[in-house]
Structure 1
Amino acid sequence: MSRPQQVQLSHGGGGREMNEFIHEIFFRRFENPFLKAEDAATLTLNGQVAMTTDSFTVEPLFFAGGNIGSLAIAGTTNDLAMVAAQPKYLTCSFILEEGFAFSELEKIVDTMAQEIVPTGAVIVCGDTKVVPKGCADKVFINTTGVGEILLPNVSASQLQVGDVLLVSRDIGRHGACVLAARESLRLESEIESDCATLWPVVNQLLSSGITPHAMRDATRGGLAAVLNEWCQSSNVQMRLQEQAIPVDAAVKGVCELFGFEPYDLANEGTFIIAVPAEQATMTLDVLQRFQPQAAIIGEVVAGSPAKPVLCSPWGSKRYLDFPVGELLPRIC
């Protein structure tokens, strides 16, 4: 009997259909020695570990530069990388709406299988639930990640006056990309999401002897949210050079059209790093091997209130505040 073209309730019912569905869609793509038909995976870890969990619900599911599957892998492994933890193991659970097309599900899972390769991690267990049509919007994904910490105490609480701040590439791409897709904007040059796994570049930084005080991927709330959280955590100010912060021209255009600031828009493959001043040049060199747009954008300074200060090329200054409200719901 041929396989149906859409997800049916029986694919989450625990019987033969579910067994065949899980093996055909997931086991075949995520195959590794740890992934077995058991209720739990048996793993081995050495030393201090990091653990993170996340859920993904994006509209549209597919966008220029990625889809909900690449978001799930990148988002989870990036959270580990930001505390200098090498991604090792992931769990992956799907909530699927009855009637969701098999062809779209297979594209998502294929993307996940490809996205996880550069991290060296593997998916070791998961779960699938199918809900009646109308009870969920196509597909939601939940992941948990576990990694081995290679450099302890990488944290916003470790910022020090004199630290130099760098960004790994141009900002605001993911938010602008999703917004353009939702509004069906026709742009001279298509904006691609920056969605990507960050472990390769972080691994290279650590291997080069860089000892970051803090790292953070600038997802929801963008650069502005990360830097405000950092200032609060370490009770410091930051002096940022507006002209040094890289923003693509197409992203600027979308921001002007909708009245947004690029500092507030989400990223999914861009991170901010704070390093001792003597390591700034080496850090920039490593970052630019991966993305030429990487830049030094400012420094940590003493001052009150504990907020980032944006300095314009004309000498004016203003606080870069937290984003207010939900700019773009269901961004990741």
Structure 2
Amino acid sequence: MSREEQVLARIEKARRRRPKVREERITLAHGAGGKATHTLIEAVFVDAFRNPELERLEDGAALAIDGARLAFTTDSYVVSPLFFPGGDIGDLAVNGTVNDLAMCGARPLHLSCGFILEEGFAVADLQRIVASMAAAAAAAGVQIVTGDTKVVERGKADGCFVTTAGVGVRERDLALSAAGARPGDRVLVSGPIGDHGVTIMLARGELDISADLVSDTAPLHGIAAALLDAGGGGVRCLRDATRGGVATICNEVATASQVAVVLDEAAVPVRPVVTGASEMLGIDPLYVACEGRFVAVVAPDRADAALAALRAHPLGEDAAIIGTIADDPPGMVLLKTAFGGTRIVDMLVGDPLPRIC
């Protein structure tokens, strides 16, 4: 057995183990979207709440109630700083929940919002966040119809945390799932990756870099609908590339479908400033979060039409086909590098950029 085959065998053996949280305390890695997050979710939450819909591990639940096809999702936002170039925690919360519904193939309708506020938080900042949420909801065509507010003692939170939930209607009879990828399918991304994560890092002032870069936070239901109209039943899966970035999404697809995802490094759209900042941080842009980009897996005979639909939308002019689905090695993501080699793109344990969403 070659060295490469030995490495692949060890990785596959590790993945087959029953998920188990080995740490005695929760760490930041458990909330970062990588291996530690997946282990926590599967070993604690899925194990306790087990049901077929939850076990799909999609961005939202696809529900059928009295003949109506609905999607339901929830998410929490703890971004630091609260205000950053291109957005803030308010529009991030609205767009993030709208996007999770869109990835289920749904038209978003209604949202709830919950606030956890720290004693001493400025009312003016709260009003600014709420105004941002209202504007984002209006732009996305959704209504915030219910909510909750809690205040905790000074030092018990970081100013403001927001939780949103959303419901939408699935108007197309499609079964979108990370488990639906098939050999020969194409992997598409809707635009340049990593803008949000790098914007947050620059906003924290931890890097001595000045760059004309803003978060890509945006509602994706419009561009997702355009893709679904063009791709029809050939669209296998949609996932927005938030925590863990494109690399984590591709690993989720590879594992759920037991296929290989083969990416072409030269085809992945990345802005030069994101590449430069990522190099300074020692990370790969493939792992950097987006808040207005998604990954789609599309049948080969519908890929060109899907790409054209993405590029025709204002949010997708730089969309690209970045890879293909193969049958071997199952459960793995491989990257064809610009130097002509191939390397494994595994899921990280944690996230090199904490508190980004």
Q: In 2, distance between residues paired with 1:126 and 1:279?
A: 41
Give the 5 Å matches for 1:283-322. 283-289=306-312, 290=314, 291-322=316-347
Matched with 1:113 is 134
Pick which of 178-187 and 218-227 moved more.
178-187
| Residue identity matched to 1:214 | C
Q: Secondary structure at the match of 2:263?
A: strand
Q: In 2, distance between residues paired with 1:223 and 1:45?
A: 36
Matched with 1:268 is 291
Give the 5 Å matches for 1:85-234. 85-151=106-172, 152-208=174-230, 210-211=232-233, 212-234=235-257
Go from structure 1 to structure 2 and tell me whether the alpha carbon gap of 1:246 and 1:45 turns closer, same or farther (over 3 Å shift): farther
Matched with 1:328 is 353
| Residue identity matched to 2:87 | G
Q: What do you get for the CA RMSD once the two structures are aligned?
A: 1.7
Matched with 2:29 is none
Return the TM-score normalized by structure 1. Answer: 0.83
Go from structure 1 to structure 2 and tell me whether the alpha carbon gap of 1:164 and 1:209 turns closer, same or farther (over 3 Å shift): closer
Deviation at 1:113, TM superposition (A): 1.1
Higher helix share: 2
Q: In 1, distance between residues paired with 2:200 and 2:69?
A: 37
| Residue identity matched to 1:329 | P
Return the TM-score normalized by structure 2. Answer: 0.78
Q: Secondary structure at the match of 1:213?
A: strand
| Residue identity matched to 1:174 | H
The Cα offsets for residues 120-173 of structure 1, whole Å up to 9 and x where unpaired, read as 221110011122222211111111111111233111111111111110001111
Q: Secondary structure at the match of 1:195?
A: coil
> Unaligned regions of 5+ residues in structure 2, if any?
1-64
Q: Secondary structure at the match of 2:212?
A: coil
Q: In 2, distance between residues paired with 1:89 and 1:46?
A: 19
Q: Secondary structure at the match of 2:256?
A: helix
Matched with 1:66 is 87
Deviation at 1:207, TM superposition (A): 3.4
Larger radius of gyration: 1
Q: In 1, distance between residues paired with 2:259 and 2:311?
A: 27
Q: In 2, distance between residues paired with 1:169 and 1:68?
A: 22
Go from structure 1 to structure 2 and tell me whether the alpha carbon gap of 1:331 and 1:213 turns closer, same or farther (over 3 Å shift): same
| Residue identity matched to 1:303 | D
Go from structure 1 to structure 2 and tell me whether the alpha carbon gap of 1:92 and 1:46 turns closer, same or farther (over 3 Å shift): farther
Pick which of 285-294 and 220-229 moved more.
285-294
The Cα offsets for residues 67-107 of structure 1, whole Å up to 9 and x where unpaired, read as 00011011111111001011111110111112211221111
Moved over 4 A (4+): none
For the 8 Å contact 2:185–2:325, the answer to whether it is kept is: yes
State the number of aligned residues: 289
For the 8 Å contact 1:170–1:294, the answer to whether it is kept is: yes
| Residue identity matched to 1:308 | V
> Unaligned regions of 5+ residues in structure 1, if any?
1-43
Percentage of pairs with the same residue: 43
The Cα offsets for residues 273-319 of structure 1, whole Å up to 9 and x where unpaired, read as 01111111111111112232111101111112421110023321111
The Cα offsets for residues 253-285 of structure 1, whole Å up to 9 and x where unpaired, read as 111111011011111111000111111111111
| Residue identity matched to 2:345 | L
Q: Secondary structure at the match of 1:58?
A: coil
| Residue identity matched to 1:246 | P
Go from structure 1 to structure 2 and tell me whether the alpha carbon gap of 1:305 and 1:275 turns closer, same or farther (over 3 Å shift): closer
For the 8 Å contact 1:240–1:311, the answer to whether it is kept is: yes
| Residue identity matched to 2:243 | R
Matched with 1:277 is 300
For the 8 Å contact 1:46–1:148, the answer to whether it is kept is: no
For the 8 Å contact 1:51–1:146, the answer to whether it is kept is: yes
Q: In 2, distance between residues paired with 1:228 and 1:132?
A: 40
Q: In 2, distance between residues paired with 1:327 and 1:210?
A: 36
Q: In 1, distance between residues paired with 2:339 and 2:125?
A: 50
Q: In 1, distance between residues paired with 2:214 and 2:231?
A: 32
Deviation at 1:50, TM superposition (A): 1.1
Q: In 2, distance between residues paired with 1:46 and 1:101?
A: 46
Q: Secondary structure at the match of 2:124?
A: helix
